[in-house]
Structure 1
Amino acid sequence: MKYENSSEGWDATGDLALTWTKTDDGSIVDGSKVIYFSTQRFIRDIALGNCCFICGAAPDTKPFNDEHVFPRWLLQRYNLFSRTITLPNGRPVRYDRHTVPCCEECNTLMGREIELPISAALDGSPHSVQDFVASGKGLHLFVWMGLIYLKLHLKNKTNRKVLDTRVDAGMIADDYDWYLLHHLHTVIRCFYIPTIIEPEVIGSLMVYPVRTEGSLDEFDFGDLHATQTMMLRLGRTAIFVVFDDSRGAQSYIQHNMLPKLTGPISELQVREIMVEFAMLNWHLKERPSFQSLCDTVREEHTIIARRSERPELVGWDLEVRGQLMWNAIGHAWSTFPSLGASEEEVKKVVLTGNMSVLWDNNGDFILGDTKRWK
């Protein structure tokens, strides 16, 4: 598959494109335009720097207007401007103030190439999203989800681990291995740099209908950083994605889980399925590898993947599952009175890794009402 845009053949200044050349750090450039960021340049300029996260321009070289982690149309549609997202440090931050460095030019291009078609497709109906993907737009959705995921992690460069300013514990992003996000950054730039992307490069991506049951909110977001797994719940639609598994988790889900799901899933079940995607990615026996190929003569950028023909799992760590489950559903502990009377009692059961809101004791899909949470 190839992603092309109307900017092909022109550099960032509007002049005819120059010859592709390789820099000392391994990047590929076309005059002032970065075709491919080397890992070193990505970490220096984007992950640790304050350059535009798409083109890499420094703030003093172009007009900047920054980019919302969650796009403005999404904030408006779900009335999120004054709502807050809770950071790993427990601090609530307003969605409308959650931004990352981005130049005006890239922001405009991103809006035209990505946000406009996605905003039209994500109308709250799972059928609309499924039709969008079936029409060959799966890469658009994958890139859009990847943009949110990457922006969220870039923003954590400025969010403290510990809220108490007297404690010098550093920033949340200090613990990130930015090398692991370099591949995703390369993929999500395909709307800026025309790129040939092999199908195996795309990770697991699944859309599933949701039933309203426990929450009054139409919007929910979750990510499990260690496994590059993310979910969005938008109205009656849940979108799941794994960015670095070359569809390994999706293959297992399609053959072993989907046939057992006999109806729409609840809001908490959405979060458990996110955990299942994460667990499958975590336990892949052979991890896929990704590589960017830049032909400086033909001026073509291609991203390829190498993976096993048939994904296999190695082990199944219930301790890991328990921690992921608590991270995913711990906020709703009060809806599980059968597990305990206090948060600590419920947490103890969840951390065993055996608790499920998706399957009953017989392994059948749970379809029923639960207590609402605030």
Structure 2
Amino acid sequence: MAIDLYKPFERLNFSKHNCFISGEKLQHSEEEIHVFPLWLLQEYELHDKPFKLLDESMSTYSHMKLPCATSINKEVLEPLEEEIKTAFLSGYDAVQNLPDLKLFQWIGKMLYGILFNEIRIGIMQQKAKGEEFIFSQSLVHKFGNLHLMLQSLTKAIEFEGSHPWTIKVFKIESKQDLFNYRDEINTLTYSLAMKDFGIIACLQDNGTNAVYHKEILTKVQNNALHPAQFEEVCARFFYSNYLFNRLPEYTIMPTNEAIYIEAMPLMGMSNKPLFDAWQNKTYAQVLENFWKPWGILLFEILKDPENPLTHLLDESGLLIPAEKVDLPS
């Protein structure tokens, strides 16, 4: 008999009475986990820090939770969390040696947890108005695929060919312990800077953003970045993933032994390029947001509208060494 998959998006089942990953009925209301792991909350004193939701309401990092069967938490999630914690607290060298799949599962669980809470709030708000909750079919498709891939935590799932995601780890040179987290749920884009490393992830682009930014990635590879340089790379990825105009499709083949997932060719869906045209003005607005800690304003970034300000590359197109970046670290 082929392995079964749990599909909460088919009926928009986001009840706290069902395990988020298996769908099994929970026995107690205490069967839940933190979306942001406890070790991370403790390391950076995030428990009561505000977390803004899509409807502009505020929650806190510690208030964001996911229903999860106790057995799955103990047997699957806690060992993963311990492995991630050990690597993250050790720093860049340990993090870059983590398998992409482990990073995908950890990041994906976090983004899905945020999404789960966002959807529940949306459903409750619409119900209070006596209205039906309407969900974009393209987002249902994208988020449903994310949940399907996350079931690799508990089921035998094999990714055939290239991975459905882009995940890159960078070394950061900083005099202080960093913590900077960002996400963009609609595009499934994520970044995290902490200790001496940074991670950028696009969870459903079939690796295209890495190809799009190949030149920058080649120049950055194995070099330590100033925190502002890392945030500039983040801005480029967040913006390009916004420009990515495909909704990836996957061939899913359940068997008795495993579920095989293979990405279908992106170019076959349309004749137009995979990314919409890059607009410097829009990119500069994104970059201004990422550079807020250094107070770099839009008019400074766009002094030359054809060549937005960069702290990554010099006039010859070479990487600027982190110590030469004339900004606070």
Q: Distance in 1 between matches of 2:193 and 2:158?
A: 30
Q: In the alignment, residue 216 of structure 2 is paired with which amino acid? A: M
1:358 paired residue number: 312
Q: Distance in 2 between matches of 1:186 and 1:209?
A: 31
Cα shift readout 1:292-332 (whole Å, capped 9, x = no counterpart): 2112xx35311111235999654423154345335x42643
Superposition map of 1:335-374 within 5 A: 335-336=295-296, 339=299, 354-359=308-313, 363-366=317-320, 367=322, 368-371=325-328
Q: Distance in 1 between matches of 2:297 and 2:239?
A: 26
Q: Distance in 1 between matches of 2:38 and 2:284?
A: 35
* Contact 1:249 1:280 (8 Å CA) reproduced: yes
Superposition map of 1:135-146 within 5 A: 137-146=99-108
* Contact 2:192 2:199 (8 Å CA) reproduced: yes
Q: Which of the numbers 80, 88, 94 marks the counterpart of 1:122?
A: 88
2:40 paired residue number: 74
1:301 paired residue number: 259
Superposition map of 1:8-87 within 5 A: 19-20=1-2, 35-38=4-7, 41-47=8-14, 51-59=18-26, 61=27, 64-87=30-53
* Contact 2:231 2:291 (8 Å CA) reproduced: no
1:261 paired residue number: 220
Q: Distance in 1 between matches of 2:306 and 2:182?
A: 21
Task: Report the alpha carbon displacement of residue 181 of structure 1 after superposing the two structures with TM.
Answer: 0.8
Q: Distance in 2 between matches of 1:251 and 1:264?
A: 21
Task: Report the alpha carbon displacement of residue 285 of structure 1 after superposing the two structures with TM.
Answer: 7.0
CA 1:173–1:237: 2 relative to 1, 3 Å: farther
Q: Distance in 2 between matches of 1:363 and 1:87?
A: 39
Q: In the alignment, residue 18 of structure 2 is paired with which amino acid? A: C
2:146 paired residue number: 184
Task: Report the alpha carbon displacement of residue 269 of structure 1 after superposing the two structures with TM.
Answer: 2.8
Name stretches of at least 5 consecutive residues in structure 1 with no aligned partner. Answer: 1-18, 21-27, 29-34, 341-345
1:93 paired residue number: 59
Aligned length: 316
1:317 paired residue number: 278
* Contact 1:150 1:185 (8 Å CA) reproduced: yes
Q: In the alignment, residue 307 of structure 1 is paired with which amino acid? A: P
Aligned: 1:245 with 2:202: no
Q: In the alignment, residue 112 of structure 2 is paired with which amino acid? A: L
Q: What SS is found at the alignment partner of 1:354?
A: coil
Q: What SS is found at the alignment partner of 1:219?
A: strand
* Contact 2:235 2:290 (8 Å CA) reproduced: no
Q: CA RMSD in A?
A: 3.9
* Contact 2:20 2:67 (8 Å CA) reproduced: yes
* Contact 1:205 1:242 (8 Å CA) reproduced: yes
1:105 paired residue number: 71
Q: What SS is found at the alignment partner of 1:246?
A: coil
1:230 paired residue number: 190
CA 1:187–1:208: 2 relative to 1, 3 Å: same
Q: In the alignment, residue 370 of structure 1 is paired with which amino acid? A: L
TM-score by length of structure 1 reads: 0.70
Cα shift readout 1:204-248 (whole Å, capped 9, x = no counterpart): 1111111226xx552111112332211111211101111111111
CA 1:338–1:152: 2 relative to 1, 3 Å: closer
* Contact 1:201 1:303 (8 Å CA) reproduced: no
* Contact 2:111 2:185 (8 Å CA) reproduced: no
Q: Distance in 1 between matches of 2:70 and 2:134?
A: 25
Give % identity: 20
Q: Distance in 2 between matches of 1:101 and 1:138?
A: 25
1:209 paired residue number: 171
Q: Distance in 1 between matches of 2:314 and 2:184?
A: 24
Q: In the alignment, residue 327 of structure 2 is paired with which amino acid? A: T
Task: Report the alpha carbon displacement of residue 147 of structure 1 after superposing the two structures with TM.
Answer: 0.8
* Contact 1:125 1:237 (8 Å CA) reproduced: yes
Q: In the alignment, residue 56 of structure 1 is paired with which amino acid? A: G
Q: What SS is found at the alignment partner of 1:128?
A: helix
